Amino acid sequence: MAEEKKFYLTKKGLEKIKKGYQTLKKLKTAKIKGEVPKILESEDLNPEYLSFQEDLSLLESRIAELEYILKNAQLITPPPKEKQNIVNLGATVTLEDSDGEINEFMIVGTLEANPNEGKISSESPVGKSLLGHKIGDKVIITSPIKIVYRIKKIRYQSI
């Protein structure tokens, strides 16, 4: 049997998924309790009924997807003090590129990645390259262009 995929989430990310899951379950219940369109309209299938069934099917598949994520979620927690000098999930890393430009990224799981918010996935080229490195290390990323970063700072905050 294939190994279950782990979904690494911050506390905030896990709460967001739980909230979305509860909202969808309420929506499904409300939809089912509402007036269900008749199956047939004369001899043909009622388009309203088909639309209702399609909506219900989409809701059920999204609920199942969220249940799978919640079942396989692993909370990202800061490492022990003596290991906080190494980049790992949950770390906010300050980087300097070869032009002296400073970038800061938080390493998160794929579900929470949002480059616009400075959150990058641990599975992205940059995220993968940073994992396991320390302050002062040079990290080379070649996707699609070559970038050399020097790690200036690593910090873990309450996540």
What number is the average pLDDT over the span 82-99? 94
- Sequence-distant (6+) residues with CB within 8 A of 13 are 108, 109, 111, 112
Average pLDDT in the chain: 90
pLDDT in tens, 17-58: 999 999 999 999 988 887 777 776 666 777 888 888 898 999
In the chain, CATH 1.10.287 sits at 7-75
CA atoms within 13 A on the CB side of 34: 11
CATH architecture type of domain 7-75: Orthogonal Bundle (1.10)
In the chain, CATH 3.10.50.30 sits at 81-156
CATH fold of 81-156 reads: Chitinase A; domain 3 (3.10.50)
pTM of this structure: 0.80
What pLDDT sits at residue 131? 95
What pLDDT sits at residue 159? 62
Give the 3-state secondary structure of 88-146: CCCEEEEEEECCCCEEEEEEECHHHCEHHHCEEECCCHHHHHHCCCECCCEEEEECCCE
pLDDT in tens, 121-141: 999 999 999 999 999 999 999
What pLDDT sits at residue 43? 63
What pLDDT sits at residue 151? 95
CA distances 43 to 48, 49, 52, 114, 149, Å, are: 14, 14, 18, 50, 68
Whole-angstrom Cα distance, residue 73 to residue 62? 16
